[in-house]
Structure 1
Amino acid sequence: MLSLQEISDRMEIEDLMVRYSHAVDTRQWDLLDEVFTADAHIDYTAMGGPAGDLASTKKFLETVMPNFAAFQHLISNSSIRVDGDTATARTMCHNPMLVDGADGSRHLMLCGLWYLDTFARVDGTWKIRQRVEEKSYMFVAPDATPGGATS
């Protein structure tokens, strides 16, 4: 049976992962300072991005995300293990993104991945110390513009 502290820790960690999704989906890069530790390592290489510290990750997101007309991070099925002031989790993410082609076409890119996270409680608050993406799939659908193949 889980203790009240373990239940609270799990809920706080789940909320932290939602705050990450919200920060990215609303393009509020500075909110990531509240999500990650100052010394965080973030590895997006499995899905074609870089690996680096928080500052370089924020710069990458700020540069690349305007290339997508719309996107959402849908997270679920978290397997969280808490051990005192540290924790780990494996969380499923479905990330649909709209990509505009140079010819005016619009394509739906579907990304499926897992976040492999390590957390630390810092001054009483949970933060992500390390995030590594593990790829499941990436699929780009045909033209999704009105009148296109998938309208």
Structure 2
Amino acid sequence: MTQRVELATVLDRFAVDGLVTDYAVAVDDGDWEAYRGLFAPDGRADYRSAGGIEGDVDQVVGWLAESMELFPMRQHLIVNRRVRFGILEQDTGDTARVQADYINPMRFAGHDGGSTAPDFVCGGRYAFGLVRTDDGWRLRHVIVQEKWRRTPRTLQQPAAT
């Protein structure tokens, strides 16, 4: 690899990492316009493993905006990012795949402004598919693979006696 190619790869890794971070911040802040802007025109997201929907960006934004009203406090922590770059066949655009683990603590809305409302925590793995566009890197797909969740005892099934 030449130094120019190595530098371009490093810059792409920074851009891809920034896009994944922007994704987490947009969801946590409920900034649905910013969320939309992260996706390529054909972008899709799949939240079915976490009890959500699969669809195009507009469908998913509608579902997220409504669902996240239950959780006024959200904080995605996305770690262990594994980035792989590729070239689209018979296309000039570059692609990337990111596999990243997440833990997502959230707080249920409470009657007292949320300070004593119970917490909900889940974790799993994201699979991001990205494509380089004229506007920079964009998400082509996001797939959530929820592996576990911890809900407040009051929301859990009572223990069998």
What band does the TM-score fall into relative to the shorter chain? 0.7 to 0.9
Match of 1:29 in 2: 32
Residue 92 of structure 1 aligns with which residue? 101
Unaligned runs of 5+ residues in structure 2 are: 88-93, 155-161
Measured on the aligned residues, the alpha-carbon RMSD in Å equals 2.0
Cα pair distance change 1:124/1:64, threshold 3 Å: closer
Identity %: 30
1:127 corresponds to which of 110, 133, 138: 138
Aligned twin of 1:71: 74
Could you tell me which runs of 5 or more consecutive residues in structure 1 were left unpaired when the two chains were aligned: 144-151
- Larger displacement relative to structure 2 (92-101 or 63-72): 92-101
- Aligned residue in 2 for 1:147: none
CA distance in 2, matches of 1:46, 1:92: 14
1:110 aligns with 2:121: yes
In structure 2, the residue matched to 1:146 is none
Question: For 1:3, what is the secondary structure of its paired residue?
Answer: helix
* 1:100 shift after superposition: 3.9
- Structure 1 residue 48: Cα displacement: 0.6
Q: Does residue 12 of structure 2 align to residue 9 of structure 1?
A: yes
Q: Take 2:29 and 2:107, find their aligned partners in 1: how far apart are those partners? A: 15
* Partner deviation per Cα, 1:92-143 (whole Å, 9 max, x = no partner): 11100112478x9722111101110110001150011011111221111347
Aligned length: 142
Counterpart of 1:138, as a letter, is R
Give, in whole Å, the separation in 1 of the partners of 2:68 and 2:125: 19
Task: Provide the residue aligned with 2:56 in structure 1.
Answer: 53
Structure 1 residue 33 displacement after superposition: 2.3
Q: More strand per residue: 1 or 2?
A: 1
What TM-score, normalized to structure 2?
A: 0.81
Deviation at 1:24, TM superposition (A): 1.1
AA aligned opposite 1:69: P
User: Which structure's CA Rg is the greater one?
Assistant: 2
CA contact (8 A) 1:9 1:82 kept: no
Check whether the contact 1:107–1:142 (CA below 8 A) recurs between aligned residues: no
Point out 4+ residue stretches in structure 1 off by more than 6 angstroms: none
Contact 1:108 1:142 in 2 (8 A): no
